[in-house]
Amino acid sequence: MGIQATFQRRVSEYLQSLFDGDPESIQKSPLFAGMSRRDLLFGGGLAATVLGASGCPPADMAIEAASEDDAKHGEKGIDPVLRRLVERCTYGANQYELNLAKQMGYDEYLAYQLDYNQIDDSEMEARLSGYQSLHYSAKQMALAGEMGNYDVFYELVNSTILRAAYSKRQLYQRMVEFWTDHFNIYIEKDYMYYLKPVDDREVIRKHAMGTFPELLSASGHSPAMLVYLDNDPSSKEAPNQNYARELMELHTLGVGNFSQQDVEEVARCFTGWSLEYDWESPSWGTFKFYGWAHDRKRKKVLGHDVPRRGGVEDGQTVFDILSKSDSIAPICARFIGKKIANWLWGYDPPEALIDSMAKSYLGSDGSIKKMVKTALSHEWLSQAQPKLKRPFHYVISSMRMAPSDIPEFWGVRYALSLMGHEPFQWAPPNGYPDALQFWGGSLMPRWRYGALVYTQNYSPQFDLSKFEGEIEPLQFMNRLNRDFFGGKISATDKALLLDYVQENPYSEWRRKEALGLAISCSGFQWY
């Protein structure tokens, strides 16, 4: 603890001198005098081990630091709850979003993000104009793929990255990510390269801010989902239970709210739900119901009768039982509400919030917007704690801070694969976890990304002109704080980074390293 305490004292003394506005003393700061790099390294490590073992509750340092720092810097007067709203709505609270939110105020900014289709996103659309396959049918994708090109796959992944980073419809993109995990589909299975892009467009993006019952039904009709969860060969002679089970366990109710008997009955309801297999048909790969494979006998699902002689409507009956019925929909509403709250509000949402979420669902026929609005309300968000950025969020936020115009993203895909978070690459049906415990232990891949992204010939290549040329270290730091941290960099990170660029103020290389270190720092991992 000794070295750490000394270090922190020096940092605070140093900051004092900084705010006293004496540039001479800053240049000659004895911040690290008498302390070697190794001391810092092992001192930090030692202290961290001790602190970590104490199991301190998460302190809301970000909000405190924000208000303190805001008073000193450009971001004057932004309400910390409003800032948190921007952080929760976006993949990175950059200058553009923060200014927008300040102009609009809390309620108007939230309404603006919710009414996403009113937001002019023509720049984004122009960027994607070359991505032909985003408009293809499954058959067109397959024809392209038959010719041995992987464009349909890369266009899906690259457009996902591009949209998350640069679309103005940020909250919508965040919900697209949420539903992509909720209705997870692993793209390496069978001919999923041709089916998942259609699911992405017609299910996830079409309904991400619509109603849950419609989204659920669309997902169940999606050939990608039916193939992923093995429903496509399911027939009355051989019903396959995989989709039936995950439909209840993962998509609507959660484990413990249905029986094995329900799984078997639901599986019977979905017999014959498959896709057009005829390669000669232009509708290859679209939903198709095979009546001869359907089990037309009577079924009983979660206490509801599904009458005999049913056809394709049996499946829709199941969706309605799960998402609309008086007896079952409340379970679904709580399950979905809790998960959205975990996504937008924070880890382990309290019962009262889950109650409000369920109420929003049940009072609106499952409106997703209503639930999102509840989770992001000022009342609730003022009680929220920071969340750890998942690797995708982390990488995208680094892109939003230093824009790039080069639509070439192999480097980003590679970085995401090293972090275990490449889009559409999670094999089991539960989707990438939204949990601190899952992602928090793996920091090295983040640091490696930070070490490469602004210094190497990395794709995309960023516009770093603001950080180049004849600018003083302090000026550099202020720009870094403004652009990367929205003005709320922690005192320690700021002191460390300033010292790093001061070591050799004329080195462009060192400044680029400092940018990478900035995103690797502790403070940048949270939102």
Footprint (CB under 8 A) of another protein, residues 186-245: 230, 233-235, 237-242, 245
Tell me the backbone φ, ψ of residue 438, rounded to 5 degrees.
Answer: -75, -45
Residues 306-335 that bind another protein (CB under 8 A): none
- Regarding 7 and contact with another protein (CB under 8 A), the answer is yes
- Give whichever of 12 and 118 is closer to another protein, judged by the CB atom: 12
- Interface region with another protein, contact rule CB under 8 A, candidates 200-208, 255-263, 363-371, 394-402: 255-263
In the chain, what is the greatest distance between 2 CA atoms, to the nearest angstrom?
87
Nearest-approach distance from CB 44 to another protein, in angstroms: 4
φ/ψ of 91, rounded to 5, equals -95, 30
Binding mask 397-436 for another protein (x = CB under 8 A): ---------------------xxxx-----xxxx-----x
DSSP collapsed to 3 states, 19-66: HCCCHHHHHCCCCCCCCCHHHHHHHHHHHHHHHHHCCCCCCCHHHHHH
Asked whether 453 and 398 are in contact (CB, 8 A), the reply is yes
CB of 242 to another protein, least distance (A): 5
H or E element that contains 70 = helix 61-72
Q: Report the residue number, 8 or 67, with the smaller CB distance to another protein.
A: 8
257 contributes a contact to another protein by CB under 8 A: no
480 in contact with another protein (CB under 8 A): no
434-473: which residues touch another protein (CB under 8 A)? 436-445, 447-448, 451-452, 455-456
Amino acid 145 reads G
Number of CB atoms found within 10 A of residue 410's CB: 13
Provide, rounded to whole angstroms, the least separation between the CB of residue 165 and another protein: 22
* Residue among 366 and 386 whose Cβ is closer to another protein: 386
For residue 301, give the 3-state DSSP assignment: strand
Nearer to another protein, 70 or 249 (CB): 249
Q: Which of 493, 498, 515, 519 binds another protein (CB under 8 A)?
A: 493
154 belongs to the binding site for another protein (CB under 8 A): no
Contacts to another protein from residues 331-390, by CB under 8 A? 386, 388
Min. distance of Cβ 484 from another protein in angstroms? 13
Phi, psi dihedrals of residue 213, rounded to the nearest 5°: -60, -40
Q: Which of 4, 6, 17, 25 binds another protein (CB under 8 A)?
A: 4
Distance, CA of 105 to CA of 22 (rounded, Å): 36
Taking the C-alpha atoms of residue 222 and residue 271, their distance in angstroms, rounded to an integer, is: 15
* C-beta closer to another protein: residue 101 or 396: 396
The distance from CA 37 to its chain's CA centroid, rounded to whole angstroms, is 36
Shortest Å, Cβ 81 to another protein = 19
Nearer to another protein, 189 or 296 (CB): 189
CB 283 within 8 A of CB 194: no
Nearest to 391 by CA among 451, 433, 430, 349: 433
Contacts of 470 (CB under 8 A, 6+ apart): none
| Binding to another protein, residues 28-67 (CB under 8 A) | 37-38, 40-49, 51-56, 58-59, 61
To another protein, the closest distance from the beta carbon of 126 in angstroms equals: 34
Q: Which two tokens stand for residue 57?
A: 């509750």
Instruction: Candidates 155-163, 296-304, 395-403, 495-503: pick the segment binding another protein (CB under 8 A).
Output: 495-503
CB-based contact 328:302 (threshold 8 Å) = yes
* Sole window of 6-14, 117-125, 330-338, 355-363 interacting with another protein (rule: CB under 8 A): 6-14
User: Is the Cβ of residue 405 or residue 503 nearer to another protein in the bound state?
Assistant: 503
Please report whether residue 477 would count as binding another protein according to CB under 8 A: no
The answer to the question of residue 5 lying near another protein (CB under 8 A) is no
43 vs 92, which CB is nearer to another protein?
A: 43
What residues contact residue 324 under an 8 Å CB cut-off, 6+ apart? 213, 365, 366
CA dist 238 and 264 (Å) reads 11
User: Distance between CA 241 and CA 230 in Å, rounded?
Assistant: 8
Could you say whether residue 496 binds another protein (CB under 8 A)?
yes
Q: Is 409 exposed, middle or buried (0-12, 13-18, 19+ CB in 10 A)?
A: buried
CB of 516 to another protein, least distance (A): 7
Cβ-in-10-Å burial (0-12, 13-18, 19+) of 119 comes to: middle
Kindly tell me which residue out of 8, 25, 137, 367 binds another protein, with binding defined by CB under 8 A.
8
- Which two structure tokens, joined as six digits, stand for 474? 């302090």
Q: Which is nearer to another protein, 133 or 490 (CB)?
A: 490
